[in-house]
Amino acid sequence: MRTEMETESLKTKDRVGSYGFIAEPFHCDFQHELFLGHLCNHLLNAADYHSDERGFGMNYLIPRHRTWVLSRFAIEIYDTPKAYDNICVDTWVDSVMRFFTSRNFAVRNDKDDVCAYGRSIWAMIDTESRHPVDIMAIHDGHISDYIETSKPCPISQPQRVRVGTNTQLLRTVEMQYSDVDVNGHVNSVKYIDHILNLWDLDWYRNNVIKRFDIVYVAESHSGDRLSFWREQTGDEEFGVSITKSSENGTNTIEVCRSSIKFVKR
Question: At closest approach, how far in Å is the CB of 178 from a copy of itself?
Answer: 5
Between 26 and 165, CB nearer to a copy of itself: 26
Query: Which window, 2-10, 23-31, 207-215, 242-250, contacts a copy of itself (CB under 8 A)?
Result: 23-31
Please name the residues in contact with 8: beta carbons below 8 A apart, sequence gap of 6 or more.
none
Site for a copy of itself in 167-196 (CB under 8 A): 176-178, 180-184, 187-189, 193, 196
Where does the chain have alpha helices with state H?
4-9, 12-15, 36-53, 58-61, 188-196, 201-206
Rule CB under 8 A: say whether 223 interacts with a copy of itself: yes
181 in Cβ contact with 70 (< 8 Å): no
Site membership for a copy of itself, residue 45 (CB under 8 A)? yes
**Closest CB to a copy of itself among residues 147, 208:** 208
Comparing CB distances to a copy of itself, the nearer of 127 and 222 is 222
Question: Under a CB-based contact definition with an 8 Å cutoff, are residues 19 and 49 in contact?
Answer: yes
214 contacts 256 by C-beta, under 8 angstroms: yes
Residue 10 vs 83, nearer CB to a copy of itself: 83
DSSP lists the bridge partners of residue 103 as: 93, 120
Backbone angles phi, psi at 194, to 5 degrees: -65, -40
Which residues are near a copy of itself by CB under 8 A? 24-30, 32, 35, 37, 41, 44-45, 48, 58, 83, 176-178, 180-184, 187-189, 193, 196-197, 199-201, 204, 222-223
